[in-house]
Amino acid sequence: MYKAYCRAYQRTLKFLSPILTWREPELIEGANSVEKLPEVIKSIGINKILIVTDSDIRSLGLINGLLEALKTSQIEFFIYDKTVPNPTIENIEEALELYQNSECQGIIAFGGGSPMDCAKGVGARVARPEKSITQMKGQFKIRKEIPPLFAVPTTSGTGSEATIAAVITDSQSHEKYAIIDLNLMPHYAVLDPLLTIKLPATITAATGLDALTHAVEAYIGKSNTIETRKYSIEAVRLIYGNLYEAYSNGSNLAARENMQKAAFLAGAAFTRAYVGNVHAIAHTLGGFYLVPHGLANAIILPHVLEHYEKTVHKPLAELADAAGIAEGSETIDQKAVKFINSIKTLNSKMDIPTKVSGIKDSDIPIMADHALKEANPLYPVPKIFNKDDMLKIYGLIKEA
């Protein structure tokens, strides 16, 4: 009965999705494209802007070119750089205070998924000042236009520059949850590969596998469409053709550019077709143990795909073809198994661990409950998990 309710809920959302008003972010692409952003900001009448980033990005100097260009364009800027991995409600409220006190008119999200989520949270609070972040948890609780949001990714993974979601952590309850609303789609996205050239190999690997997880979960889910399937297939093709090169030769600008495009396409796919149980589990590891999201996804993904068994073999076989790892003589089952094994191989080549250390046995039932609450009924997964399914996955990824 419960599974029938979940499927009915998901079918309703899939039916409604095409009639919703989806905003497409305007793309600014290419090397040094970030320096074109101030003229765009100026052209829409913004003179004061909040930049949401983190301390590492600021200390690396990645933001300096943008700051100089803003000065040249005589745009006053205010920087919030205290965003933590798995951004918290406190981060959002601090950044909101700076936005309001400085009388800003727009927001630049500069960084990986954490600054992007924090910036979206600020935008949500500006749009709906009478609502707390907790009150906007879930779907379509904002329903008002946020200030102009300019997304500048410095990693190639989260795809947040193409999504309608912000993932927030409640530091008191350790719960990590999403705020989902069409108005959270950035108005502009800057894909400048030069910003990713200095990305450490470990982060290149984890964020690239995050993008792969987005593409795979969107593709195998029951709410995919012709459009999202196209995005996912192209993302998988680009990831398999460029991720390991970007990891092993970080200065390869073409590989970096292709990975940025892959992350954007995977984000566009999953924001319309949703993710699945991999993400539900990964969010609990981020909330409880601050495990970086991409790393958690990379560890969990092959286990969940194997647990789905034959329900995902046909779409995984198609992704194996897209990745260029399948042979024409192979069966659907053989291709699907090869695709799962290729993820394990890619993880191993990039030194992704096979287990998560530090998981406490006493936390697992609580995390399983949180994961189930996130996944059901929202995510249109190939196989609806129950608590035993979740517990099995936690057992497989827990370091002994």
Q: How many C-beta atoms lie closer than 10 Å to residue 226's C-beta?
A: 6
pLDDT at 21: 87
Mean pLDDT, residues 161-169 taken together: 95
CB 176 within 8 A of CB 287: yes
Q: Given the structure tokens 């192979």, which residue do they identify?
A: 330
Angle at 180 between CA 176 and CA 107, to 5 degrees: 95
pLDDT digits (tens, 9 = 90+) for 337-363: 999 999 999 999 999 999 999 999 999
> What is the pLDDT averaged over residues 19-46?
95
User: Mean of the per-residue pLDDT values for the chain?
Assistant: 96
pLDDT band at 400 (very low <50, low <70, confident <90, very high): confident
**Tokens standing for 76?**
């006053």
Query: What letter does residue 146 receive in the DSSP assignment?
Result: P
| CATH of span 201-397 | 1.20.1090.10
Residues 227-252 have pLDDT tens digits of 999 999 999 999 999 999 999 999 99
* CB-side neighbour CA atoms (13 Å) of 247: 22
User: What's the token pair of residue 40?
Assistant: 């765009």
Residue 345: predicted pLDDT: 98
CA-based nearest residue to 166, from 301, 52, 8, 10: 52
Query: Stretch 36-58: mean pLDDT, rounded?
Result: 97
Beta-strand relationship, 188-191 and 26-29: parallel
Q: How open is the CA angle 164-165-170, to the nearest 5 degrees?
A: 160
CB count in 10 Å sphere of residue 166: 28
Which letter does DSSP use for residue 35 in this model?
A: G
d(CA 229, CA 252): 28
Structure tokens at 140: 């379509």
Cα 314 from chain centre: 25
Q: Containing H/E element for 246? A: helix 226-248
Residue keyed to tokens 């009448």: 45
Query: For 22, which DSSP code?
Result: P
CB contact set of 136 (below 8 Å; sequence gap of 6+): 124, 128, 142, 179, 181
Alpha-carbon gap, residue 43 to 243, rounded angstroms: 36
> What is the structure's pLDDT at 7?
95
User: Tens digit of pLDDT for each residue in 172-216?
Assistant: 888 888 999 999 999 999 999 999 998 999 999 999 999 999 999
Percent of the chain clearing pLDDT 90 (strictly above): 93
Task: Spell out where the chain has E strands.
Answer: 26-29, 48-52, 76-80, 106-111, 138-139, 149-153, 165-169, 176-180, 188-191
Q: Is the per-residue pLDDT at 171 higher than 90? A: no
- In a 3-state reduction of DSSP, which class is residue 145? coil
What fold characterizes domain 21-196?
Rossmann fold (3.40.50)
The conformation of residue 327, written as its DSSP 8-state character, comes to -
User: What gap in Å lies between CA 213 and CA 236, rounded to an integer?
Assistant: 9
- From 152, 154, 176, 156, select the one nearest 165 (Cα to Cα): 176
Mean pLDDT, residues 157-171 = 94
Output DSSP code: residue 197: T
Q: Which pLDDT does position 251 carry in this prediction?
A: 96
Position with higher pLDDT, 139 vs 259: 259
**pLDDT score for 82:** 97
Residues across the chain: 400
Coil vs helix vs strand at 177: strand
pLDDT higher than 90, residue 5: yes
Across the range 294-306, mean pLDDT stands at 98
Amino acid at position 54, single letter: D
| pLDDT surpasses 90 at 87 | yes
- Checking if the pLDDT of 20 tops 90, the result is no
Question: Any idea where the domains of the chain sit in the sequence?
Answer: 21-196, 201-397
Mean pLDDT on 158-169: 95
